[in-house]
Amino acid sequence: MNTDQQFDSGSTARRYEALLRISEMISACTDPEDLAQVLADQLDGVLHFDHLDLLALKENPNEIEWHAWGKGALPLPDEPIEEWPIWQVYNCQEPLHIVDLSRDERFPRLKHWAELAGVACGSVACVPLTTLRRRLGTFSIASHAGGSYSTEDLCFLQLVGRVVAFALDDGLNLRKAEAAQAELRQQNSRLQLLLDLTNRITSNLELREVLRAISANIREVMECDGAAILLPHPVSGNFQMYALDFPSSRGFFKEELLIVPGQNDPAQRALDTLQPVIINTVNAADISRESYETVVAEGLKCHCFIPLANRGRAVGLLVVGRTREGDFTPKDIEFLSQASGQIAIAVENALAFQEISELKEKLSQEKLYLEEEIRSEMNFDEIVGNSAALRQVLELVETVARSDSTVLLLGETGTGKELIARAIHDHSPRKNHTFVKLNCAAIPTGLLESELFGHEKGAFTGAISQKIGRLELADQGTLFLDEVGDVPLEIQPKLLRALQEREFERLGSTRTKKVSVRLVAATNRDLESMIAAREFRSDLYYRLNVFPIRIPPLRERREDIPLLVSYFVQKFAQQMQKRIETIPAAAIRTLTEWDWPGNVRELGNFIERAVILTRGSSLEAPLAELRKLPLDEPTTTAAHRQEEIALIVKETLTALNSQKTEADEHARKQREKIVSVLTESKGRVGGTDGAAARLGLNRTTLLSRMKKLGIDPKQFS
C-alpha cells in the first residue's frame, strides 16, 4: 500500500461532515482542553494522527498563553520557542509539513531534543490559527509512522484551523467582555462602598457600629474571608481588634482581642511607614508567637495591612485576609488605600464624638456635684437658715453622716428633725439606698410591732397576707424612728436586739433575718426623765444616744426667721399660683420677735395661712393672731389689748401706705415714659418704628400696660 493510500482516511464528504460537527460543537466549549478534545474526537477516523494539540501565544509572541492536548500528550521541548516549528508557522502564516522529523534538517535542535527525550515522531502537520484581525497560535497533528500528509490533508487542516481560530477569537472576545463587565461591576461595587463609607461617616457616630459595618462591606467587596479594624490600645499601646467581620472564623479571633506586635511586625511597619504591607506567606519570625499560632489556627494564608491615616497621622489599621492562596493585586491595594482615608475620618469623628460625650457626661457630673456643694452651702437642701446655732448642727451632721453610727436627734416639736435625718442619710455612704421613716407616736401600740418588724400571713387576727416591716425595707439604707420616746416598753427589748444584733424575726415566723441598717432616732421628750420614771429602758437609751444632736428651737435662732418667711412665702405662693413680691417690714419684725412655740412647723403654717389671705402682691399676714394670749396665761385688761391691736394696725397701715406711695410713683413714671414714646411715634404702637419696638416690649404687653394706665394711642396720632 503506498503512502497516499495509507493516509487516505475517507471521502471529502466525510471530512466536511466532520468540519460541520466541529463548527457546531466548539461553540459550547468552555476551555481550551474541551476544544482540543472535540477536535481529536471528530477528526479521528477522518485523518490519521497519534498527537493533536492547540497552542495560543500572547500578544508578545515569545510567551505561551495556553497549550492544550487533545490526543497523545507529549512534553514540550526544552528549547526557546524560536526553535520550534510553530514559530515559523506563526510568523510566516503558512502551513508546515514535516514528512519525517528524524530525517528533516530544518530543525536540528528540535530533532536532537526528540532523540534525547525518546519521542518517536514521524510526520508533522501544523497550520496557523488566524482571523482577519489577529494571529492567535497554531493547530498541529503528528503521527508515529513515517510517510506524509497529502495536500488535501493540509487544505482540510487549514479549514479546520480557520473554524477553530474564529471560535477562539469569539471566545477570547467574550471572555474579555465578561472580564470587562466583571471589572465594571467590581468598580461599581467599590464606588458604592466608598459612597456608603461617606454616608456612615455623617450618619452614625457610634464608633463600634460604624467600624463593624465598614468591615462587613469591605470583606464582601474585596471577596476576602475576614476584615478587621485595629486601633491602638490607649493604655498598653498594643493593637486592639475593635471591629471584626469573619463569618468563617473558628473563634480564635474576636473583638477586644489585644495583639502584641512582634519584631518587624507587619502591622507596626504599616503604621510607621503609612504604607500598605502585604503578607503572602505567614512567617513566625515576623509576628509574635501568640499571633502566629492564632493566624495558623484560623487558616489564614495571606494578609494586607492598610494604615488608616488622615493628615499624615495614623489612627489605626485596616486588615483583610484570605484563607485561600491568592495575592492582593495593585488595584486592590489602590482601592483599599482610597477607602482607608474615609475610614480614618470616620474613626476620628467617632472618637471625637466619644470624647465630647465623655466630657459632656463629666461636666454633667461636675454640675451635679457643684449643685450638691451649693445645696450644702445653703444648709442642706430645704434646711433654711444661717444662724450660728443652725450651722453648729449642720457641722455635726457632716461629721457623723460619713459613719454608720446611730444618731439621736433631740429637740422640740416642729424644729425639723426629719429634715436633719434626711440630711444625714443624703450625705452618708447609704444615700443610694432607701430612707425609711416611721413615726412611733402615730401608730397604735398593737400595730407598731408589725409595722417595725413585719408579720407572716395568719400571725394574728386580720393578718390576711404577709407584710414586710420598715426595718427590712431599710436594709442597706437608713431607718428614721421619729418620736422614739413613744415606743411601748414591751417592744423596746425587741428593738434593742434588732439594733445590737442586726437581726429580727417577723411576727409569726421563726426565721431570723439579717439586716444592715443605719438608725436615726428623734424625740421631743426627756428620755432621761422617762428612764427615772421607768417609762423607757436605759439600755435602749444608751444604744440610741451614741451621737446626740440637739436641734435648737426657732426662738434660739431668730436671725433665721426672715429667711424662713421668704422661703415659705415663695413656696406657698408658687403652689397657689400667686405673685407675692414684697413682705412688709413691720410683718418681718413682728414675726421675728414672736417666740413660735411650735417652731418652724408653726411658722410654716402661719405663712401658708397668710398667703391664702393675700390678695395683692404684698404679703397680708394676720399678725393679730400672734397677739392672742395662750389660755393658760392670766388675762390682761381690755384697754391693754386695744393698745396692742391699735399698734399692730398702725404699723400695718403705715407699711401699706408706704408701699402704695412707692407703687403710685412707679406708675406715674411709667405713664410719662409711654406717653413720651407715643408722641414720638405719632400714636403708632406696632411696627419697626412703633412705640413697642422703641420701648423693647411686645406689642400686646404695651397695649395691656396702656389699658391699665388709661392711655389711648389715638390721642397722639
Q: Each residue of 241-263: pLDDT tens digit?
A: 888 889 888 888 888 888 777 66
Sign of the alpha-carbon dihedral angle for 548, 554, 560, 564:
positive
pLDDT at 409: 94
Q: In the structure, what pLDDT confidence band is assigned to residue 611 with cuts at 50, 70 and 90? A: very high
Kindly state the average pLDDT of the residues 157-181: 79
pLDDT at 612: 92
Q: Which residues lie across from 548 on neighbouring strands?
A: 408
Q: Contacts from 237-244 at CB under 8 Å and sequence distance 24+?
A: 239/267, 239/317, 242/207, 242/208, 242/211, 242/316, 243/208, 243/211, 243/212, 243/214, 243/215, 244/212, 244/215
Find out whether 239 and 232 touch, Cβ atoms under 8 Å.
yes
In 72-196, DSSP assigns E strands to 96-98, 123-130, 135-143
Kindly state the average pLDDT of the residues 351-371: 63
Q: In the structure, what pLDDT confidence band is assigned to residue 17 with cuts at 50, 70 and 90? A: confident
Q: What are phi and psi of 428, to 5 degrees?
A: -110, 165
pLDDT at 510: 75
User: Which residues neighbour 374 within 8 Å (Cβ) at sequence distance 6 or greater?
Assistant: none
Q: Identify residue 235 by its one-letter amino acid code.
A: V
pLDDT at 232: 81
Q: Kindly state the percentage of the chain with pLDDT values over 70.
A: 84
pLDDT at 15: 87
User: Which residues neighbour 632 within 8 Å (Cβ) at sequence distance 6 or greater?
Assistant: none
pTM: 0.39
Kindly state the average pLDDT of the residues 483-511: 88
pLDDT at 482: 92
pLDDT at 646: 58
pLDDT at 644: 53
pLDDT beyond 70 at 451: yes
Q: In the structure, what pLDDT confidence band is assigned to residue 332 with cuts at 50, 70 and 90? A: confident
User: Which residues neighbour 669 within 8 Å (Cβ) at sequence distance 6 or greater?
Assistant: none
The x, y and z cell numbers of residue 694, run together, are 422703641
pLDDT at 68: 93
pLDDT at 647: 56
Which helix H or strand E contains 399, and what residues bound it? Answer: helix 388-401
pLDDT beyond 60 at 125: yes
pLDDT at 287: 74
Q: Which residues lie across from 229 on neighbouring strands?
A: 243, 318
pLDDT beyond 90 at 160: yes
Least confident residue range of 452-461, 540-549, 583-592? 452-461
pLDDT beyond 90 at 550: yes
pLDDT tens for residues 186-234? 666 666 666 666 665 555 567 777 788 778 878 877 788 898 888 887 6
pLDDT beyond 60 at 79: yes
pLDDT tens for residues 624-634? 888 654 434 44
- Give the Cβ contact number of residue 610 at 10 Å: 23
- Give the Cβ contact number of residue 123 at 10 Å: 24
Q: In the structure, what pLDDT confidence band is assigned to residue 362 with cuts at 50, 70 and 90? A: low
Q: Kindly state the percentage of the chain with pLDDT values over 90.
A: 19
pLDDT tens for residues 694-711? 888 888 888 878 887 888
pLDDT at 37: 93
pLDDT tens for residues 382-414? 688 888 888 899 889 989 999 899 999 999 988
pLDDT tens for residues 641-656? 555 555 555 555 555 5
Q: Output the average pLDDT for the chain.
A: 81
Q: Name the burial class of residue 6, with classes exposed (0-12), middle (13-18) and buried (19+) by CB atoms within 10 angstroms of its CB.
A: middle
Nearest alpha-carbon partner for 607 in 647, 646, 641, 563: 563
Q: How far apart are CA 71 and CA 52, in angstroms?
A: 5
Q: What b/e string do you get for 493-510 counting C-beta neighbours within 10 Å, with b at 16 or more?
A: eebbebbeeeebbbbeee
Q: Which residues lie across from 97 on neighbouring strands?
A: 125
> Where are the alpha helices (H) located in 454-598, listed in sequence order?
470-473, 492-501, 527-532, 538-544, 561-575, 585-593
Q: In the structure, what pLDDT confidence band is assigned to residue 662 with cuts at 50, 70 and 90? A: low
Q: What is the DSSP letter of 75?
A: P
Q: Is 10 left (phi over 0), alpha (psi -120 to 50) or beta?
A: left
pLDDT beyond 80 at 78: no
